[in-house]
C-alpha cells in the first residue's frame, strides 16, 4: 500500500512505489527521456494519473539551469499598449507559438530607465530563458544589453538596417509602395502622408516607400506633404489638420498606421471632406480597427500574429542551440482594399 506524504501532495517516491519502478525511472518518464520500455512508461503514467502527481517544475528548471519562462517586453506606455491593436495581435501570436511548449510567458512594460535597469537585473539573475522585444525605438540599448548578458533575444521589427540581434519584421517599404501605387492608379495626384515617429525603423521604411513611389510618379516629391505622428489616433487627427491647412486641395492620404488613419478620418469629416469622394485614405496594419471605421479602411496588411509566432520559433531555435547564428525574417505585406480608397 502506498502511503500519502505528510503534505498531502503525492511525491516522486510514491509514484515509483505504485508503478513498481525506481525513482530514476519515474524521472526519465516525466522528462520524456529515451531508453524506457513502453510497458514501464505506461505503468508510470498510470501511477501519475491515479495519484494526481504534478512534477516540481521549479526543481527541474533549477537542475537544468533554466527558468522555463520567456519575457515579452514592450517599451511603451500603458495608454499606447491598451489602445494600439497591434500589441494584442502580437501577444496572441506569441501565445499561440508558446502553446505547445512548457514555457511561461511574462508580459513586461519597460517605460523608464529605472524599469529597464530593474528588468536587466531580473534577466541577469536568469529568471527568464529568453526575451521577445516589441516596438523597439532606434536609441533603445536594451537589445544590446541583453545580448551582452547572453540572453537569447528576438526583436519584433528592428532598430536599423544593420540590426545585430535576431528579428522578425514585415516588408514595410513594400507595403507603403503598394498603397501609394493604388492611389496613383485610381487617379489621385496630391497624395500626402502621416508618417510614424522617425526614431522607429518601421516608420522610416514606410516613409521611404511612400517617398520613392510619389517621386517616381513624374511629380517631384514635396517635403511639405509629410506630417509626423506617433501612431496614436490623436496624432493622426492633428497631422491631418495641419496637412489640410497647408494643402487644402489634397486628394489622398497614406497613414503609417490604422490608428492614425482613424484620426485622419475624424479630421476630414470635421472639415466636410467626403471619403473617398474628396479624399482617399489608406492605413497600415490591417488591424481589426480597419473594419470598424466609417467608411471601412483600405489598409496594408502585415501578418502581425504570424510575426508573433515566428518570433517564438526563432527564439526557441536559439534556446535549443545557443551557438546558432542570428536569424532575420521579413514577412510579406499586401494591400487590402475597402471603401476608403
Q: Kindly state whether residues 291 and 265 are assigned to the same domain.
A: yes
Q: For the residues 92-111, what does the mean pLDDT come to? A: 89
In sequence order, which residues have a C-beta less than 8 Å from that of residue 209 and are 6 or more positions away? 172, 173, 174, 175, 176, 177, 179, 180
Q: Kindly state whether residues 184 and 282 are assigned to the same domain.
A: yes
- Note the pLDDT of residue 62: 46
Q: Is residue 134 part of a domain?
A: yes
Q: How many domains does the chain have?
A: 3
> Residue 5: pLDDT band by 50, 70, 90 thresholds?
very low
- Note the pLDDT of residue 308: 94
Q: Kindly state whether residues 18 and 131 are assigned to the same domain.
A: no
Give 280-326 pLDDT, tens digit per residue.
Answer: 999 999 999 999 999 999 999 999 999 999 999 999 888 877 666 67
The answer to whether 262 and 235 have CB atoms below 8 angstroms apart is no
Q: Kindly state whether residues 142 and 245 are assigned to the same domain.
A: no
Q: For the residues 134-161, what does the mean pLDDT come to? A: 89
Whether 26 has a pLDDT exceeding 90, the answer reads: no
Taking CA atoms, 94 is separated from 132, 305, 316, in Å, by: 9, 7, 12
Task: Please choose, from the candidates 285, 249, 329, 323, the residue with its C-alpha nearest in 3D space to the C-alpha of residue 86.
Answer: 285
Q: Is residue 338 part of a domain?
A: no
CA dihedral 163→169→173→176, nearest 10 degrees, is -150
Element (H, E) at 131: strand 130-134
Select the more confidently predicted residue: 268 or 116: 268
Q: Is residue 7 part of a domain?
A: no
Select the more confidently predicted residue: 17 or 52: 17
Handedness of CA 225, 230, 231, 235 (dihedral sign): negative
- Note the pLDDT of residue 4: 47
Whether 2 has a pLDDT exceeding 80, the answer reads: no
Counts of helices then strands in the chain (DSSP H, E): 13, 12
> Residue 34: pLDDT band by 50, 70, 90 thresholds?
low
Handedness of CA 192, 198, 203, 206 (dihedral sign): positive
- Note the pLDDT of residue 326: 75
Q: Kindly state whether residues 179 and 324 are assigned to the same domain.
A: no
Q: Is residue 76 part of a domain?
A: yes
Q: Kindly state whether residues 183 and 252 are assigned to the same domain.
A: yes
Q: How many CA atoms lie within 13 A of 296 on its CB side?
A: 9
Q: Kindly state whether residues 148 and 49 are assigned to the same domain.
A: no
SS3 300: strand
Q: Is residue 62 part of a domain?
A: no
Whether 65 has a pLDDT exceeding 90, the answer reads: no
Q: Kindly state whether residues 199 and 92 are assigned to the same domain.
A: no
Give me the phi and psi of 125, to 5 degrees please: -75, 5
Whether 45 has a pLDDT exceeding 80, the answer reads: yes
Domain of 23, in residue numbers: 12-55
Q: For the residues 113-124, what does the mean pLDDT come to? A: 89
Q: Kindly state whether residues 131 and 154 are assigned to the same domain.
A: yes
* Phi-psi label, residue 263: left if phi above 0, alpha if psi -120 to 50, beta otherwise: alpha
CB count within 10 Å of CB 253 equals 33
> Residue 12: pLDDT band by 50, 70, 90 thresholds?
confident
- Note the pLDDT of residue 214: 92
> Residue 1: pLDDT band by 50, 70, 90 thresholds?
very low
Select the more confidently predicted residue: 15 or 243: 243
- Note the pLDDT of residue 57: 52
Q: Kindly state whether residues 274 and 231 are assigned to the same domain.
A: yes
- Note the pLDDT of residue 64: 52
Q: Is residue 35 part of a domain?
A: yes
- Note the pLDDT of residue 127: 87
Q: How do beta strands 130-134 and 104-109 pair?
A: unpaired
Select the more confidently predicted residue: 50 or 63: 50
Q: How do beta strands 298-301 and 334-336 pair?
A: antiparallel
Q: Kindly state whether residues 191 and 289 are assigned to the same domain.
A: yes
CATH number for position 153? 3.40.50.2300
- Note the pLDDT of residue 168: 95
Select the more confidently predicted residue: 147 or 229: 229
Q: Is residue 6 part of a domain?
A: no
Q: Kindly state whether residues 227 and 194 are assigned to the same domain.
A: yes
Give 155-201 pLDDT, tens digit per residue.
Answer: 999 998 888 889 999 999 999 999 999 999 999 999 999 999 999 99
Q: Is residue 61 part of a domain?
A: no
SS3 247: coil
The DSSP symbol for 255 reads E
Select the more confidently predicted residue: 81 or 270: 270
* Phi-psi label, residue 97: left if phi above 0, alpha if psi -120 to 50, beta otherwise: alpha
> Residue 100: pLDDT band by 50, 70, 90 thresholds?
confident
- Note the pLDDT of residue 102: 81
CATH number for position 18? 1.10.260.40
Amino acid at each position: 500500500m502506498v502511503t500519502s506524504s505528510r503534505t498531502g501532495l503525492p511525491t516522486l517516491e510514491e509514484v515509483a512505489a505504485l508503478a513498481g519502478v525506481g525513482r530514476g525511472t519515474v524521472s526519465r518518464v516525466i522528462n520524456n527521456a529515451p531508453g524506457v520500455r513502453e510497458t514501464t512508461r505506461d505503468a508510470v503514467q498510470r501511477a501519475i494519473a491515479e495519484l494526481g502527481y504534478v512534477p516540481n517544475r521549479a526543481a527541474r528548471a533549477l537542475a537544468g539551469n533554466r527558468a522555463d519562462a520567456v519575457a515579452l517586453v514592450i517599451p511603451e506606455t500603458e495608454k499606447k499598449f491598451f489602445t494600439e491593436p497591434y500589441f494584442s495581435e502580437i501577444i496572441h501570436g506569441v501565445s499561440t507559438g508558446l502553446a505547445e511548449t512548457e514555457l511561461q510567458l511574462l508580459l513586461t512594460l519597460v517605460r523608464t530607465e529605472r524599469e529597464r535597469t530593474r528588468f536587466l537585473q531580473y534577466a541577469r539573475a536568469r529568471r527568464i530563458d529568453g526575451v521577445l522585444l516589441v516596438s523597439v525605438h532606434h536609441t533603445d540599448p536594451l537589445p544590446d544589453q541583453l545580448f551582452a548578458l547572453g540572453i537569447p533575444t528576438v526583436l519584433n521589427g528592428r532598430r536599423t538596417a544593420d540590426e545585430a540581434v535576431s528579428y522578425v519584421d514585415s516588408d514595410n517599404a513594400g507595403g507603403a509602395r503598394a498603397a501609394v501605387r493604388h492611389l496613383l492608379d485610381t487617379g489621385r495626384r496630391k497624395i500626402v502622408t502621416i508618417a510614424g515617429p522617425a526614431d522607429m525603423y518601421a516608420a522610416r521604411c514606410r516613409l521611404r516607400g511612400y517617398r520613392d513611389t510619389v517621386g517616381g510618379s513624374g511629380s517631384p516629391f514635396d517635403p511639405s506633404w509629410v506630417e509626423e505622428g506617433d501612431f496614436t489616433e490623436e496624432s493622426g487627427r492633428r497631422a491631418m489638420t495641419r496637412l489640410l491647412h497647408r494643402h487644402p486641395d489634397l486628394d489622398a492620404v497614406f497613414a503609417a498606421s490604422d490608428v492614425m488613419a482613424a484620426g485622419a478620418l475624424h479630421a476630414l469629416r470635421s472639415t466636410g471632406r467626403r471619403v473617398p469622394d474628396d479624399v482617399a485614405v489608406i492605413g497600415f496594419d490591417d488591424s481589426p480597427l480597419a473594419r470598424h471605421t466609417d467608411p471601412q479602411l483600405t489598409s496594408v496588411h502585415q501578418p502581425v500574429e504570424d510575426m508573433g509566432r515566428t518570433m517564438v520559433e526563432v527564439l526557441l531555435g536559439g534556446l535549443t542551440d545557443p551557438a546558432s547564428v542570428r536569424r532575420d525574417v521579413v514577412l510579406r505585406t499586401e494591400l487590402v482594399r475597402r471603401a476608403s480608397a
